[in-house]
Structure 1
Amino acid sequence: MELRQIQYFIEVAKREHVTEAANYLHVAQSAVSRQIFNLESELGVDLFVREGRNVKLTPIGKVFLKHMEEAIAILENAQREIEEYLDPGHGTIRIGFPTSLATYTMPTAISAFRERYPDVKFQLKQGAYYDLIDRVAKGEIDMALLGPVPMREKKVRGSILFSENLVALLPIDHPLAKSPTLKLSQLREDGFILFPKGYILREILFEACEQQGFQPTVTFEGEDIDAIRGLVSAGLGVAIIPEITLIDGVPRSTVKVPIVEPSVTRTVGIIIPKDRHLLPTQNLFYHFLIDFFTRLDKFQD
């Protein structure tokens, strides 16, 4: 079994199409077909079922794919570890983040780090909360910035960097727009603009509303902070969002009002895998983040 055969097999499995895999690999289709045939002959099993121009993994093919992806990840990590051991300042960090940390927190941290280590490269992956936890656990990314920080996950370890308030974003003509503060219960008759089901910020709001004895009426949903802020700006409802997403100012025709009852907060931090150690460059960035936000918090106090 050759490494090239494994690489060809994985690409065909991902695309379920030999020609598309060949185009991605920049090799002839016949070369890919031949290597897959040789691999199946060596293993003595069919890895794919042919369906016209497409292919589908057989049950044993799916098992083989899982093991081969793990094997490739081990080989790639070994190569990265050697390279980063020789020079941690030239490594690559694969980091994930949700939309709520995309505007300020993530860019600020990376910018500060690159002032000290300008040759480190980043591969940025934006995603939803639970998806990012899963990708860190599987090794698809090295770490992720998240809020709130999961502290009871079996396969990832969380470190809190700071805590922040969630605030109400209201249309400028809302009856409570001029209030210095508000109680969440005062919004029980309003329509809320929320993230879709499965997003953690939606869960935080529902839990806070239930503590106040009501369930929020959802009028619109948006998959990112910009969409939610835009819908509030259009007067289509109210939103409860992290205060840090408004650090550069509130959108036109909206106002920000702090919530005093209950205090709606979240932790923000970094998650890393529990079952494998960080490579030198990853470890460098991980400890930089902890030190950076500790110093930033002290400065703001």
Structure 2
Amino acid sequence: MELRQLRYFVEVAKREHVSEAAEELHVAQSAISRQISNLEAELGVELFIREGRNVKLTQIGKHFLPHVETALKAIDFAKQQIDEYLDPERGTIKIGFPTSLASHTLPTIISAFKAQHPNVSFHLRQGSYRFLIESVKNRDIDLAFLGPVPSDDNEIKGNILFTETFSALLPANHRLAGRQSIDLNELRNESFIMFPKGFVLRNIAVDACKQAGFAPDISSEGEDLDAIKGLVSAGIGVTLLPESTFYETMPRFTVKIPIQIPHVKRNVGIIISKNRELTPSEKVFYHFAKDFFSVLERYQ
């Protein structure tokens, strides 16, 4: 069983088309077909069913695929570790992040790190809360910034970097727009704009409203911060957002008002998998991030 046979198998399984896999891998179609036939002969089973120009995984092929993917990830990780031990300053780090940390937190830490380690590369992936956690577990990304840091997952190690409060974002002509602060209960009769169900920022906002004694009337939803802020700017409703989402991106015709009661906040941190060791460059970045935000917290 050869490594290239396994890579060919995974690529064909993903695309369900030999010629498309050949194009992606930059090898001849006949070479892929031959290597997969050799793999099937060695295993003594058929991995694919031929359907004209397309192929489909057999039942045993479907069972074989996740094991092969796991093995290839382990091999790629081992090679990456060897490369980085030879030169830790030229590694590539795969980092995940949510939309709420995209405009300020992530650029701040990446730019500070690059100033000291200019030859380390980054592959950045934005995603939802659950997606980022699962991607760290599956080794699709090396680490992720997240808020709040999960505390009940045995496969994830999280470090809190900082804590931030939430504020209300109101249209500029809102009756409370001139206030220095508000109690959240004062918005009980307002229409709220929030992320869709399943988004952690929505859960935090809804829980805060319930803590204030009411269930929010969610009249509109947006899947990104710009959409939500734009709807507030248009006077459609109000929303609750964490402080880091307001840096340098306050929309026109809106005002940000701190919430006095209840105190709405979240922690933000960095997560890694407990089931794999960080590569040298990942370790450098991981410790850099913790030290960086520790210094910031002391000066704030």
Same fold, TM exceeding 0.5?
yes
Q: CA deviation at 1:54?
A: 2.8
Give the whole-Å Cα distance in 2 for the aligned partners of 1:85 and 1:177.
56
Q: Which residue of 1 aligns with 2:258?
A: 258
Give the whole-Å Cα distance in 2 for the aligned partners of 1:295 and 1:13.
48
3-state SS of the aligned residue for 2:49? strand
Q: CA deviation at 1:249?
A: 4.7
- CA offsets per residue over residues 216-268 of structure 1, 9 Å max, x none? 12122111111111111111111111111111152001000011111110000
Structure 2, unaligned runs of 5 or more: none
Q: Which residue of 2 aligns with 1:58?
A: 58
Counterpart of 2:169, as a letter, is L
Q: Which residue of 2 aligns with 1:30?
A: 30
- Indicate yes or no: 2:122 matched with 1:106: no
Alignment of 1:112-151 (within 5 A): 112-151=112-151
Q: Which residue of 2 aligns with 1:232?
A: 232
Alignment of 1:234-249 (within 5 A): 234-249=234-249
Q: CA deviation at 1:46?
A: 1.7
Q: Which residue of 2 aligns with 1:173?
A: 173
Give the whole-Å Cα distance in 2 for the aligned partners of 1:50 and 1:171.
60
Give the whole-Å Cα distance in 2 for the aligned partners of 1:62 and 1:16.
12
Give the whole-Å Cα distance in 2 for the aligned partners of 1:85 and 1:208.
47
Give the whole-Å Cα distance in 2 for the aligned partners of 1:55 and 1:197.
37
Q: Percent identity?
A: 58
Which one is further off, 137-146 or 44-53?
44-53
Q: CA deviation at 1:81?
A: 0.6
> What's the TM-score once normalised by structure 2's chain length?
0.97
Give the whole-Å Cα distance in 1 for the aligned partners of 2:132 and 2:59.
27
Give the whole-Å Cα distance in 1 for the aligned partners of 2:65 and 2:221.
37
Counterpart of 1:151, as a letter, is S
- Indicate yes or no: 2:52 matched with 1:47: no
3-state SS of the aligned residue for 2:235? coil
Give the whole-Å Cα distance in 2 for the aligned partners of 1:220 and 1:59.
44
Give the whole-Å Cα distance in 2 for the aligned partners of 1:66 and 1:225.
35
> What's the TM-score once normalised by structure 1's chain length?
0.96
- CA offsets per residue over residues 80-118 of structure 1, 9 Å max, x none? 111111221111100100000000100110100011000
Q: CA deviation at 1:156?
A: 0.6
Alignment of 1:77-96 (within 5 A): 77-96=77-96
Counterpart of 2:176, as a letter, is L
Give the whole-Å Cα distance in 1 for the aligned partners of 2:60 and 2:182.
59
RMSD between superposed Cα atoms in Å:
1.2
Tell me which stretches of 4 or more aligned residues in structure 1 moved more than 6 Å: none
